[in-house]
Structure formats: C-alpha cells, structure tokens
Structure 1
Amino acid sequence: MPRSRLTLLIVSLLATAVAGVIAGGAGASQAAPAAANAIAFTSERGGPLQIFIRQGGRPIAIAAPKHGMSVAPDWSPNGSKLALALSDASGQDFDIGVVPADGGPIRRITSGPAWDEEPSWSPDGRWIAFASNRTGNFELYVVRPDGTGLRQLTRNGCDDTQPDWSPDGKSLVYASRVNGKPRIWRMDADGANRRPLAKVLGSAPAWSPDGRTVAFQSESDEAAHIMLMDADGRNLRQLTDEIGNQTSPAWSPDGQWVAYISDPFGSYDVLAVRPDGTGRRALTADVWSDDTPAFRPTT
C-alpha cells in the first residue's frame, strides 16, 4: 500500500478519534469491470479503517477487529481468504492477519511491537510477503499463512516496502527508499539478486497477471500518477493523467483492467482503466476515502 497516504489517513483518524456506524456509500458507481470478481479495499466509511468487499452492489464490511483497524487486503490465490494488516486499539502496532473472505474471525499470524504491513500472497498460496519495521527500518519478510516459517528477505538499512509477487512466484517487486528516494526494485523470491527496475521515482508496484508488465505509482513533488513498464524496467509509459493523485494500482485477474485510487470527486475512490488508458470508470463514488484495492482471483 502507499504508506505515504494510508499512513497519513491512519494518523488522522487516530488524532481525531473518529468513530461511527458503518454506512453505505452515497451515490451510484458506474458499471464495474470484471463484474464477476469482487474487489476488496480499505475504507473509513464513517468509522475506523477496515476492509470492505464490493461485488456489483453495496460494499460489505468484513474483517472488523473489536478494537483498532484492518487495512491493505490481499486475496489468497483461490479467493477464499484475505491477508491484511490489523492494528491494536492504540493504532501504534500492526500485525499481519488472515480472515475468511465470507467473514469470520481474524487469525493473527505475526505479533510484536512493530508495524507489520502490506501483505502479499504468493501465487502458490504457501507464503505471505510483508514489510515490517521490527528491526528499526522497514524490511521485507515472508511467513506461512499459519504463522510459521517467518524469514527475513532484505537487510538493506533503508525502507523496503510494498512487496508484490511475480505470477510464477520466482520474483518480487517492491519499493525501496535508497537515499530516501522511493524506486521500484526487483529480487528473487529468496531475497537474492536485488536490482533496480527503473530510474524514475515510484512505489506501490503491481505485477500484471501475465508477468509482462509492472504498474506502479510515480512519486514527485507535484502529483502521483499510475505508470506502466515492462517487467525488465523498459518501455516506461504513463497510464493516468487526471487532476490530483492516482495511487495503489491493482490488476484485474484477466489483465484487462487496472484499478487505482483517485480523488476526482473530492474523496479518494476506487477507479479502473484499461491498460491502454481507455474506459476509465468509478468502482466506488461516495463521500468516504478508500484505498488499496485488490481484485478477487478467478478460480
């Protein structure tokens, strides 16, 4: 997830002690792409940040901890579960959790006084990659969905965040803040062979289902936009050019759409566009701020 914006939203909600009743969005969204596929996302919707799922109708709240927040969902490969980051009551510590997609209790699979965040499920379902600041700065780790096998992948002394698996499970892309400037990097699934993908500043990488393209959000002092590049870092091109910021790209399972977050209606909503830049439409359009969309896999 784009820590710069979602973290600010978390801090804002904590500072103002926002609480309320979960409410449906006001205003109708346009026809959704990939209508057969649900989309999960983080939203405030009048209360603490938590995970919602929308499939053609009103968003449904799931993964609501008794205290704290749940954010940054990622689907298991078979679409039966969601990995997420959930906080304690203070909002100062986040753990990785797993919850059934149709609702049910959340199982915490990491623990400790740290921010464990941005989970990403491996294509074979055996591992969940995530970022954690348990050693001081953010590094990347993997853990099994049952909480065993915790292993650190990076030890770089700079913030490594936002991991995303290649479709074949052999590589990860992620954002690394070398010298404080975020860029997209790639490494093998065991943490070896680290290398930058592009010289431009960027974060929140997302691999296309066919493995050929990486979407990411540009980073500049002016505005963030969604960019595309080939998986080897070549053929860089801009996908969105709207007013304001566009962040948190996520591919539909068929690769025909890229969902992202934008603020054309005054609040942050989930939009989608085809990879050639056509067909832009809103998947949510209401007064609430949404973030970190994730399409349910096709099974």
Structure 2
Amino acid sequence: MLSVRLVLVCCLGTLPACMPNSSSKRADYDPATDSLRFPGEVHLRNIRQLTFGGNNAEAYWSYDDRYLVFQSDWTAINPQGCDQIFLMRADGQPLADGQRYRLLSTGRGRTTCAYFLPNSRVLYASTHAAGPECPPVLRSVEGRYVWSLYEYDIYVTDTTGAPPELLIGGPGYDAEATVSPDGRYIVFTSSRSGDLELWRYDLQTGALLQLTQELGYDGGAFFSPDGSQIVWRASRPTGEAAKRYRQLLAQGLVEPSEMDLYVANADGSNPRRVTHLPGAQWAPYFHPDGKRIIFASNHHTKGGRLFDLFLIHLDGTGLAQVTHSGTFDAFPMFSRDGRRLVFASNRNARGEASRETNLFVADWVEHPEPIDLSFTRP
C-alpha cells in the first residue's frame, strides 16, 4: 500500500511537517463540478464514484496508492451471490488488461476484508474451503441487528487472482486482517480463544500473540502510520448484555449496536478507550498525522441507521463531523501519501435515497479554505 521509499519514510513519521498540504489550489477547483459533495464536507473535494451498483465496501489502498482492493456483491461483476474480492485502479481507469474490476478471490464461498501486503500480494478471508455456496445470511434475532460469524480462514493471493494460499486457519472465525506499515505483522480478529479477540501474526516467525483479553467483540483493527499503535472497535458488555453476548456468540453471531473505539500499543499493551458515545463507533483508521482517528458513527442519530464519518483525537477530544450526505458513509481509509480518502457511501449525485453502497474517492483538504466553508450543492 505504499511504493517508493521516500514516501514510506515520510508517511511513517508523525511530525506535522510530514503531512502534505493536500488542498487543491483554489484556481484549480471548481465547486460546480463537485456533484457528490455535500455542504459541510469541508475536508473533501473532487469526490469521484468508483463503483455503480450493489454493495461495495472495505476498499483499501495498495502501498503505491495506485490500486484498491474491495469486496462486492454487485451483480454486474459478481453473479455468484455474496461478496467476492476485486482489484481496481484508484483513479477508476481500466487495468492493463482492459478490465475495470478484476476478481482476486475464487468466486466460491463468502469473502471479506481484503488488504494489501507490501509485495503487492493481497490478504483476504474466505469460507470457500467449507463449500462453494454462499453461507446463509442472518440479519436479525428477536428484531435486533446481528452479524454472522462465518467459518472464515485468511488467505493470500496476488493481483492476478492466483490460487490462494492458506495463511491463518483453524476452526472458527479468523478474519478482519490488516497489515503493519513495515509489512511484518498482521492484526486480525479470531474466535480461537472462545471470544472475539485481536491477535497479531508475525510474518517472519509465524508467532501468534493475543492482543486483547476482555469479554466482548474486538475487531476491525488498523496500525498507526508509524506501526507503534493499533486502533479498533470493541464492545464491553456487562450484566444482562454480557449474558446476551455469550448466547449470541455460541450461535455464531454478534450484535454490533454498541461499540466504542480503543487504541493500544502494537503489542496490545496500554489499551485505552477513545470514545464514550452512544450507538456504534466502528471502521476506525488513523489520520496520517498519527494523532487522530477517522471513523464511522451513528451516535448523532441516537443509534439510528444514519452513519457519518468523524474525526477525533487519540485522547477523545476534538470530535468533528466529516461527512454530511444524510445517508450511510463508512469504511474510510487515507491513501498512504495522505492526499486522498476512499470510503463507502449510499450517496449519489441526485441526492436521492438509495440502498446501493458504492465506493468513492476524494481529495483530502487538511486546511479548509473559504471556498470549502461556503460550499453549496451544484
């Protein structure tokens, strides 16, 4: 997910001087053409849509910022029926072979959570070893929204879609894998201890280290730009909520309605809670300065279905809303050079309600100018 060594050195730093001024010059920016931007989105310019149907999510950058991997059930590219992993160029242009989207997974089972390794190989989780069919989807229990914990294992392929190699397996759930900036460590979520905990896998030695210990779902972890910390989402149920959590876990389910963000050292030490908000705080990713987190939340809608992106400092201060589309915005990831943000959204240029979740990429404006503060819809 990075390329040249000079960029890697810069982006691994935490000094503000290492942050590029990614704002376009005012003379180069025409707000009248920014039809996917909404008023109040002062940090986003030149939003471009990358997919055009179905459900597309968890798009993550290659190390050279040229490509994205993502999961999709869009029937135009995936007739199989449940999420498969695809590669695309980050600028939306065709790949060298003329395809816009290249299938990287097997086309069997259900997949999730692809992520690049530094050598342009790709991690992803899949159920295909258990069978070629799509596992059944259970969306609710007693009227409450749940996620199914499929029998995922973690595989490695390359950008041609070569047959996958098993990397992390075993009974239960192994998924949500991401990679440290130096490419040595993988952090992932596993049920191997009997609970949903974070684990770290050392690609050099094969050693496993359990990073979290408390009851509750720990998942969606990412490393900081310098690799020294991780951020993740977690539930910490107590009392009746803990009893319900255990009952659902025994059924291979988890209820993600109440989650907050945590950070810790990369070895799991010194864990601390960042957010204390109602509803679900999830899909966190470090800002390139290493001092802030961008994440998805519905706290402002009291646990409703409207999710927006927010920024917050590691100490829990400075909460600021980033997206204002009036619909679902989630799964943010900064490019390695800090100049762009990719995310998933239900937005469209018409401003109409939609159930389609597509991928979008925007120029990141670190220091909004008057033209950003006064932006109105074209």
State if a TM-score over 0.5 links the two structures: yes
2:65 touches 2:337 (CA, 8 Å); kept in 1? no
Partner of 1:81: 121
1:16-165 alignment to 2 at 5 Å?
37-46=66-75, 47=80, 48-55=82-89, 56-57=93-94, 58-65=99-106, 67-76=108-117, 78=118, 80-88=120-128, 89=131, 91=135, 92-145=150-203, 148-165=206-223
Partner of 1:16: none
Tell which structure's C-alpha radius of gyration is larger: 2
Question: Which 5+ residue runs of structure 2 have no aligned equivalent?
Answer: 1-49, 54-60, 136-149, 242-257, 349-353
- Seen in structure 2, the aligned counterparts of structure 1 residues 147 and 114 have a Cα distance that, compared at 3 Å, is farther
**Cα offset for 1:102?**
3.4
1:159-178 alignment to 2 at 5 Å?
159-178=217-236
Higher strand share: 1
Match of 2:335 among 252, 261, 264: 252
**Cα offset for 1:252?**
1.3
1:79 touches 1:101 (CA, 8 Å); kept in 2? no
- Seen in structure 2, the aligned counterparts of structure 1 residues 126 and 25 have a Cα distance that, compared at 3 Å, is closer
Deviation string, structure 1 residues 58-81 (Cα, Å, up to 9, x no partner): 5323332263122211112x3511
- Seen in structure 2, the aligned counterparts of structure 1 residues 145 and 216 have a Cα distance that, compared at 3 Å, is same
1:52 touches 1:59 (CA, 8 Å); kept in 2? no
Point out the more displaced range, 144-153 or 198-207. 144-153
Aligned residue pairs, count: 251
Match of 2:310 among 204, 227, 239: 227
TM-score by length of 2: 0.60
Letter in 2 for 1:45: W
Structure 2 CA distance, aligned partners of 1:198 and 1:25?
Answer: 32
Question: Which 5+ residue runs of structure 1 have no aligned equivalent?
Answer: 1-23, 28-32, 281-299
Q: Structure 1: which 4+ aligned runs deviate by more than 4 Å?
A: 24-27, 33-36, 275-278
Partner of 1:268: 357
- Seen in structure 2, the aligned counterparts of structure 1 residues 26 and 242 have a Cα distance that, compared at 3 Å, is closer
2:235 aligned counterpart, secondary structure: strand
2:105 touches 2:161 (CA, 8 Å); kept in 1? no
Partner of 1:183: 260
